[in-house]
Structures are given as C-alpha cells and as structure tokens.
Amino acid sequence: MRHPVEKTLGLEIIEVVEQAAIASARLMGKGLKNEADGVAVEAMRNRMNRINMRGRIVIGEGERDNAPMLYIGEEVGICTQPDAANFCRLEELVEIDIAVDPCEGTNLVAEGRNGSMAVLAIAEKGGLFHAPDLYMQKLAAPPQAKGKVDLDYSATKNLQIIAECLDLIIEDLVVIVMERPRHKTLIEEIRSTGARVKLIDDGDISAALSAGINGTGVHALMGIGAAPEGVISAAALRCLGAHFQGRLIYDPDVVKTGLLSGSKAEIKAQLLDMGISEPDKVYDASELACGKNLLFAATGITDGDFIKGVRFFGGGMRTQTMVISSQSQTIRFVDTVHMVDMEKNSSLQLL
C-alpha cells in the first residue's frame, strides 16, 4: 500500500518540478544565472502553495551567493497560507519535510549547456538531515558497491572495489569530479589508477544519480560539493539502493564556509550549537535521508544523461521528469505535454 507521501502528493510534486523547469528554461542561454534561479524558485513556491499539505523547507538554496531562495524553515502548502481555513482539507493533510534545488546548475542554464534540472526530495516530518550551508565530501557508487566502498578509503582502493563489484577493469571506470582547484590531487590519483575522469562545472546531484544508476557509463562521484545538494542526492540514491556517503567540510582553509565564519574550531562549535553533535562523522544515505517514505523528483531544464530538457513548441511545451519512490520501489519517467494554446498545438511532435 502506498504511503500518503506518494499516493496523495505524487502527481502534484511532479508538477512542482515541471513548473520550475519550464520557468527556468525560458531563460536558457541568456547569461542570466540569478534570474533563471529566481523564476524557478517562484514557480516552485507558487505550485507548492496550491497543494493540500503542510510542508517545511529543510534544505533551501541560494544562501551562499545571495540568489533568490526558498529559505530554510519556510512553510509551504495550502495549509500554511493566511486563508488556510477556506481550503485546507484536514482529513487529507500530509505533513512533510522538503529539500529543494529549483535550478540545479544555474551556470549551465545561463550558458545553454547540458545537465541542469529542477529538483526536490520529500519525506515525512523529520525524515531529512538539516544540512548547514557548508560543503561536503561525497562518494556515490552503483548499488553493487553499496556498503563496500567507503569515504575513508583512498580513491584508488574505492575504484578497485567498484571494478571488482561490476566485474570490470579499472580502466573501464568513469569517475565524475567537479572541476575545482581543490580536486587537483584527487584527479591525479584517479588518473594514476587508469580510470577516466569526467569533469563537470556544476550539477553534482545529476552526477550522483549517474553514478547510482547502472548503464549510464558513470561509475562513481568523488570530491567536495555543497552539503545541501548532498542530502538531496542521498535521498535519491537511497531510493535507488545505491551507495552514498557524505562528510561535512568546515575548514575555511579548504573551502568557503557559507554563513558560518571563524576558525575551524569556532565553526565546529557553531555546528555543535546547531545540534550537529558529530561534525566529522561520515554519514551514509540512510542517515542523511532517514525517512521511511522518500520521494525524489527531477525535471530536466536542459538535456541531461537520462532526461531531456524542456522543449517549446507552438502552443505549449514538453517536459521529462524522473520520479524515484522508496515506497513503491519504482523509477518512473514522466513525459508531459503542456498544452497552453489549443489553437496552436497542431505543431506538436510526439516523437
């Protein structure tokens, strides 16, 4: 039996990411990074506020670069609005925590490049880790390697394990790493094993998904990326039965520390005050996304490895969305035609 998170909210959550993707896609290639993010945020917020739910944003976006944002702690849904009494159906009310990235890969949208998505993950209240605005060391790998690779191992050892689990040689492996100066040594080590490196500028949720799904030609994600996106990745990979681990990086000598300031010791004290009792802990997917009922949804803004971006035609647009559910243990690909002007939709191409 499906849990209300999926049964009640499934289709509407799909529409949330679809509307965010459509809004952002209209600015694709125009060099307007923050604007593409801003319209996605507003589209996502507006659609969520029409759903019969009481939702709380536990992972927001935009804090680091002062971009528009759905802020952490913001409440969304019909039942949180000033006129809630007129519309909220208490007998159907679902309370959820929500992690969002309305425009993952803002630079990719601005520059008209592949790999950007509108993304969210939901769980019952308390089901998602409240990651601070920090960075996180990450390791994503296919289901066959789950529990066998480890963030504390060297990249070399992890690649040896992945190759053995997949019955491949290391030279067959492809590892995604974000192209950043901090990854110079990591990239050199990966290449020294014979494995191949696929460098990306942005969008490591998409990269984690590629590593967690067999057949994409990607076998691991390694390196340091944003912690909030790590929680969203963990939710998706937990639904997939794949491997994901993350460890907060709060040393200002290694990476920027977002809204937290001071020395490493001072930032650690701030994390303890925030309720993060083990700042140096290696978290696995079931700890970052501990909910029993998880739902992940991503709509392509621009074309990606497994979903196409928004395509506009006379009279409407077409979107592709991936929906992963821990309740039904399914991966669905939803292809939607949005018919805005019925008189012009004769130009629609279904193939």
The band of 347, judged by pLDDT with boundaries at 50, 70 and 90, is low
Instruction: Please tell me which residue, 95 or 279, carries the higher pLDDT value.
Output: 279
Domains and CATH numbers, the chain: 4-125+292-347 (3.30.540.10), 135-288 (3.40.190.90)
Please report the pLDDT score of residue 306 as a whole number: 86
Residue 297, pLDDT > 90, answer: yes
Contact 212, 141 (CB under 8 A): yes
- Contacts made by residues 175-178, CB under 8 angstroms, sequence distance 24+: 175/218, 175/219, 175/220, 175/221, 175/222, 176/200, 176/204, 176/207, 176/210, 176/211, 176/218, 176/220, 176/221, 176/222, 177/221, 177/222, 177/223, 178/202, 178/204, 178/207, 178/223, 178/224, 178/225
pTM value?
Answer: 0.90
Please report the pLDDT score of residue 345 as a whole number: 55
Residue 104, pLDDT > 60, answer: yes
Residues of the chain above pLDDT 90, percent: 74
Distance, CA of 96 to CA of 87 (rounded, Å): 18
Residue 1, pLDDT > 70, answer: no
The 10 Å CB-count burial string (b at 16+, else e) for 312-329 is ebebbbbbbbbbbbbbbe
Distance, CA of 27 to CA of 284 (rounded, Å): 36
Instruction: Please tell me which residue, 86 or 16, carries the higher pLDDT value.
Output: 16
Residue 69, pLDDT > 90, answer: no
Residue 187, pLDDT > 90, answer: yes
